[in-house]
């Protein structure tokens, strides 16, 4: 996982040493300036700051020549169960075939 972690004091990303703590955070020690800080590795919502996130893998598709689409990869996105409830709901419904009940 290549998340960008930089020192909160000096901004370096070269001299950091991470140690997971008991409560699920990561304690980082910067050997460049000697500061210790903690970081929450969980994804959080940019809107409400909550941690109730739902992982939503998105297939990244790019248009190459003409109308051909090529899959570039899968990008992991997180949606907030509070702010993006609609979005999550839509995704879920899309996966469920609706014809099992009462559509005859
Ligand atoms: Zn530093
Ligand atoms: Zn939110």
Q: Considering every ligand atom shown, identify the ligand nearest to the alpha carbon of residue 43 and give its number.
A: 2
Q: Considering every ligand atom shown, identify the ligand nearest to the alpha carbon of residue 17 and give its number.
A: 1
* Structure confidence at residue 10 (pLDDT): 94
* Structure confidence at residue 35 (pLDDT): 94
Could you list which residues have their CB under 5 Å from ion ligand 1?
7, 9-10, 30, 32-33
**One domain, residues 57 and 36:** no
Is 66 a member of any domain? yes
Is 7 a member of any domain? yes
* Rounded Cα–Cα distance for residues 80 and 46 (Å): 9
Provide the domain count of the chain.
2
Range of the domain at 85: 53-97
**One domain, residues 58 and 86:** yes
**One domain, residues 34 and 14:** yes
**One domain, residues 57 and 93:** yes
Query: How far is the centre of ligand 2, averaged over its atoms, from the C-alpha of 51 (Å)?
Result: 8
Q: Per-residue confidence of the chain (104 residues) as pLDDT tens digits?
A: 445 788 888 999 999 999 998 888 889 999 999 999 998 888 889 899 998 999 888 888 888 777 788 888 888 888 999 999 888 876 655 555 556 555 55
Neighbour-count burial for 7-45, b at 16+ CB within 10 Å, e otherwise = beeeeeeeebeeeeeeeeeeebebeeeeeeeeeeeebeb
Residue 11: partners with Cβ closer than 8 Å, 6 or more residues away: none
Is 59 a member of any domain? yes
* Rounded Cα–Cα distance for residues 72 and 97 (Å): 27
Query: How far is the centre of ligand 2, averaged over its atoms, from the C-alpha of 55 (Å)?
Result: 13
* Structure confidence at residue 1 (pLDDT): 43
**One domain, residues 3 and 31:** yes
């Amino acid at each position: 996982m290549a998340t960008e972690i930089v020192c909160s004091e000096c901004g370096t990303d070269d001299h950091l040493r991470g140690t997971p703590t008991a409560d699920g955070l990561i304690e980082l020690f910067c050997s460049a300036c000697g500061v210790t800080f903690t970081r929450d590795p969980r994804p959080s919502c940019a809107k409400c700051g909550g941690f109730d996130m739902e992982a939503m893998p998105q297939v990244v598709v790019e248009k190459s020549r003409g109308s051909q689409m090529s899959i570039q990869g899968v990008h992991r996105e997180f949606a907030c169960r509070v702010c993006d409830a609609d979005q999550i709901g839509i995704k879920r419904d899309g996966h469920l075939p609706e014809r099992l009940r009462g559509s005859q």
